[in-house]
Amino acid sequence: QYGSTRRHYIEATLEISPIASVINGVQRAYYTNTSSDTLNEIVFRLAPNTPSVGWRLWVSDVTADGQAVTPTYELYDSVMQVPLVQPLAPGASVELFMRFNLVAERGLSNGIFANANDIFATTLWYPAFSVYRSESGWWKGLYSGDPYYNEMGLFEIKLTHAENMNIAMSGVTIDTQTNTNGTVTEHIVSGPMRDVILFASPIVGKLSGEADGTTINVYYLPEGERAADYALQATRRSLEITNRIFGEYPYAELDVIEIDLRGQAAGVEYSGVITASDDDWLNGNPSLEVTLAHEVGHQYWYGLVGNNAVDETWIDESLASYTEYVYLREAYPDDTQRATDVIDFDRGAYNFFRSNGGDFPLSTINWVECPLQNSCLQNAYYERKEPLFTFSYSVCRQRKIPARILERDQCQKYPPYPPQSRRIHGRSRI
């Protein structure tokens, strides 16, 4: 029900040239005010305009309930504020229309946004609803690291692209039409999702399987066939375990994509899609297996139960890291050393960053002005996740924590942000 309060209907074309990839589209979006406040504007995020990306997402011809309005922009044009003709009372809805144009120059590949080596990948390639909270208003922070603090919503997309392109997107393709000009149009729909990734390439192969009724699609680069089968089996096993321990996987499909992450990460999560680094894409590689378990965990801890992954990275990363341990414990009950190695790695990373001046309160992080973004991200990742991971393991003793997490899962399913935090030994936990 919550997802239906944010709906996106998008028709777009994707054209890839030697100079740039271009998406031209129109979006009709519906927003229901689920807060207790009356709203005078609706805020969208234009993530590709973030300086670390350097692409350009332009918006034009904006209307609110059929009347033309003029948006204003902030923070490198990554924040678009759409004024409303009439204030939006609690429970009321507004229809917003806009045209958009994304220009992505070739050569960039930062692990999340990529347009190089016959690979085009982007999340939030459309104007996306920002998050509104009564106590703080619209979220207008700078995307840094994961561009993931987005409203849950339903998506219906018609994407036209060259016939030779293999496309992977969040959601399910329910129809494909071949056009007379050498293009095809795919009709994609989704359940409640926080983002829609678009991956396009003429060189990838595809391997499919199934786990507990969920279709798994693995997209691999040339010469990655054997590792693709290994990734399929590991993902299937991970889904079966998380379904049993944490609850039903929330989407109809799960896409796994081999991609060049440029050393930025071993894997990245999106709604219904995970990517894994080509550096680890090797048949039988334990690192690839653990990465897939971690990213499958994010389908629950980010996809199902949301949080501000930009400012409070430790929340979803802690639980995804705990999922690694659960996976190894369940998949290899006779080899406890595998799970122990995960604990030792996280503890070692935490101790390293702590000994190098990384032990400071969450509130002191300033993502906008941080002079060394990577060190800030690494500190947030390890210094936040290890305490919760250790607490989950040592206090709840292995078998009790899944029930508590599942309880949290059910009561916080789909809202964008937990309503409050509790304090354990001076540290936050959800």
Neighbours of 73 (CB within 10 A): 13
For 103, what's the count of Cα atoms within 13 Å in the CB-facing half-sphere? 4
Phi, psi of 120 (to 5 degrees): -120, 125
Task: Average the pLDDT over 400-413 and give the result.
Answer: 53
Q: What is the pLDDT of residues 261-302, one digit of tens each?
A: 877 788 889 999 999 999 999 999 999 999 999 999 999 988
- The whole-number pLDDT of residue 415 equals 56
Counts for the chain of helices (H) and strands (E), in that order:
6, 25
| Beta bridge partners of residue 7, listed in sequence order | 30, 154
- Cβ-contact 162, 183 below 8 angstroms: yes
With bands split at pLDDT 50, 70 and 90, how would you rate the model's confidence at 343? confident
- Cβ-contact 133, 139 below 8 angstroms: yes
For the chain, give percent helix, strand, coil, nearest 5. Answer: 25, 35, 35
Residues present in the chain in total? 430
44, amino acid identity: F
With bands split at pLDDT 50, 70 and 90, how would you rate the model's confidence at 430? very low
Q: What is the pLDDT of residues 205-261, one digit of tens each?
A: 999 999 999 999 999 999 999 999 999 999 999 999 999 999 999 899 999 999 988
- Cβ-contact 317, 377 below 8 angstroms: no
| 52's tokens | 């670390």
Q: What is the pLDDT of residues 98-126, one digit of tens each?
A: 999 999 999 887 767 899 889 999 999 99
| Beta bridge partners of residue 201, listed in sequence order | 166
> Domains, the chain, ranges and CATH?
3-201 (2.60.40.1730), 206-430 (1.10.390.10)
Average pLDDT, the chain: 84
Q: What is the pLDDT of residues 354-370, one digit of tens each?
A: 777 666 655 555 544 45
Neighbours of 172 (CB within 10 A): 15
Q: What is the pLDDT of residues 20-73, one digit of tens each?
A: 999 999 999 999 999 999 999 999 999 999 988 889 999 999 999 999 999 999
Nearest Cα residue to 55 out of 159, 198, 161: 198
- pTM metric for this prediction: 0.86
